Amino acid sequence: MVDSEIILQTDGLTKEFKGFVAVKEVALKVRRGTIHALIGPNGAGKTTCFNLLTKFLPPTAGHIHYKGAEITRAAPADIARMGLVRSFQISAVFGHLNALENVRVALQRRLATSFQFWKSERTLDQLNGRAEELLAAVGLQDFRDYLAIELPYGRKRALEIATTLALDPEMLLLDEPTAGMGHEDVGRIAQLIKKVAKDRTVLMVEHNLSVVADLSDRITVLARGEIIAEGSYAEVSRDPQVRQAYMGSTDVEAGHG
């Protein structure tokens, strides 16, 4: 029934907040191995949509299928165990753990010793090699002993990506990966996303349209909770409805969120 090319699919996905419809009958199909962007003006329901997909919010109606299995009622931690891992809009690091420990927390779940309060944390040292590799992959090899809270913003996001990659997820959901970043950091993170997306599927919400244009294979445009257009960047940027939706909030051609 479900196309194996489609890794994530929603039908009629709807979320109402006390009479206000934030997301309305969204039918989204994400192809395996692609970078798929979800864009739209402020208040279009992108983040709500994201929270529905990762189970941080329960939908009012509709269904979500991931790899052919229905996950509409699954718990958020279980989604992560199935290989669908999200990032957050505000950088989500563990502030008072150092960079190495941040990545290691993600790695240690597989050891299945995480409830063992009588064991020394030195038993986690076997994961340090892998954690250092992941830090190096995002250019943080010199920061392993820094507390995450001490890192500059762009580095925090890189650390977050390294932590996410530690789970080796099949599919990444990135919530505004370049939000609040300086120009230099944006370029670095975009490169990083390209690199990690090589053998994965990525669905991202992104405001920076030059990043979207550069990275995405396919783009879905949301406005007022509904899908108004879908296609390649060239296609959606020509769509009159999209141009109208963006008018006054963001200039599509200028390419800055």
Site for other proteins, rule CB under 8 A: 54, 56, 75-78, 80-81, 85-88, 92-98, 101, 104-106, 108-109, 111, 113-121, 123-124, 145, 147, 150, 163, 167
Looking at beta carbons only, is 77 or 254 nearer to other proteins? 77
Shortest distance, CB of residue 113 to other proteins, whole angstroms? 5
Looking at beta carbons only, is 83 or 255 nearer to other proteins? 83
Looking at beta carbons only, is 54 or 201 nearer to other proteins? 54
Shortest distance, CB of residue 187 to other proteins, whole angstroms? 25
Which residue, 201, 199, 153, is CA-closest to 177? 153
**Is the separation of the CB atoms in 5 and 32 below 8 Å?**
yes
Looking at beta carbons only, is 39 or 80 nearer to other proteins? 80
What is the token pair recorded at 149? Answer: 């809270």
Looking at beta carbons only, is 99 or 219 nearer to other proteins? 99
Shortest distance, CB of residue 167 to other proteins, whole angstroms? 6
Shortest distance, CB of residue 158 to other proteins, whole angstroms? 15
Shortest distance, CB of residue 100 to other proteins, whole angstroms? 10
